[in-house]
Amino acid sequence: MEQHFVIKGALDSVTLKDFQTQLSKIKFDGTMFDLYPTPGPNQKKDAEHIEIGTSKESEISQNNLNSIWQSINKTVTEKLGTIYPTYGVFNESVTPMVEHVDAIPTQRDYNLKPAYTLILPLESDVKCHTVVWDVTSEYPVKFQDQKIVGSTDYQHTEADKKLLSHCDKKVFGWGKPYFYEWIAGDIICIKRDHVHASDNFMVDNARATKKSILLLTRFDYS
Ligand SMILES: [Fe+2]
């Protein structure tokens, strides 16, 4: 099974419109969430959380999660085999995300084999990407050793460097960064233990916005 890829045109136009309409009705209450506010093992005592990037989020109810899953289940499981959704949010990025993983020991499905993060881009006013490396890590990336599973033989272009300018310098030792452009209707799939980030979508426009549905999935039902 591939560890990261995109399902092009995964949503039909009716489903895409439905998700975008749901998104437009979300009243983000202004609360900024760091996606991973859990203190890491080697963190300083006074650190509140690991800074990865901030988002406005609205959790998707269990009922709605089931209904969203029904719309995409067939397409997704054809590619990924049987997986189950654990958690979903409507998300608006506020600042770019640095390199991180989505499998975290404190998550409620951590013992149920974390599967893929599914990113459903719905709206953006700037060309933007999710970037993934052939690298796995325990959480948190900042304090753990990473395992490079691909080749490190890669020359970064100037464009790569610009898109990764918010990340730690160590990402340039990890080989090719795979950029998945955000296109509404696609689903970007990333194994949750694989290191990924957003690009620096604000580098030329500090007011740029991007919105999506994010789903975390698992392999074991219970
Ligand atoms: Fe993530």
> What's the confidence (pLDDT) of residue 47?
46
Cα of 198 from ligand 1 centre, angstroms: 8
What's the CATH class of domain 4-218? mainly beta
Cα of 196 from ligand 1 centre, angstroms: 6
Cα of 108 from ligand 1 centre, angstroms: 16
Cα of 140 from ligand 1 centre, angstroms: 12
Cα of 33 from ligand 1 centre, angstroms: 13
Cα of 210 from ligand 1 centre, angstroms: 15
pTM attached to this predicted model: 0.93
Report whether pLDDT(108) > 90.
Answer: no
CA proximity to 88, closest of 111, 115, 117, 114: 117
Model pLDDT for residues 50-71, shown as the tens digit of each residue = 678 888 888 899 999 999 999 9
Q: What is the mean pLDDT of residues 35-39?
A: 45
E strands of 68-202, at which residues? 84-93, 114-124, 129-137, 146-148, 178-181, 187-191, 194-198
Report whether pLDDT(41) > 60.
Answer: no
* CA dist., res. 216 & res. 91, Å (int): 13
Model pLDDT for residues 125-176, shown as the tens digit of each residue = 999 999 999 999 999 898 889 999 999 999 999 999 999 999 999 999 999 9
> What's the confidence (pLDDT) of residue 192?
96
Report whether pLDDT(201) > 90.
Answer: yes
In contact, 197 and 98? CB cutoff 8 Å? yes
* CA dist., res. 110 & res. 73, Å (int): 21
Domain ranges of the chain: 4-218
Report whether pLDDT(211) > 70.
Answer: yes
> What's the confidence (pLDDT) of residue 49?
56
Mean pLDDT (the chain, rounded): 91
In contact, 104 and 50? CB cutoff 8 Å? no
Cα of 52 from ligand 1 centre, angstroms: 9
| Phi and psi angles of residue 30, each rounded to the nearest 5 degrees, phi first | 95, -10
Cα of 12 from ligand 1 centre, angstroms: 25
Report whether pLDDT(46) > 50.
Answer: no
* CA dist., res. 99 & res. 222, Å (int): 29
* CA dist., res. 222 & res. 220, Å (int): 6
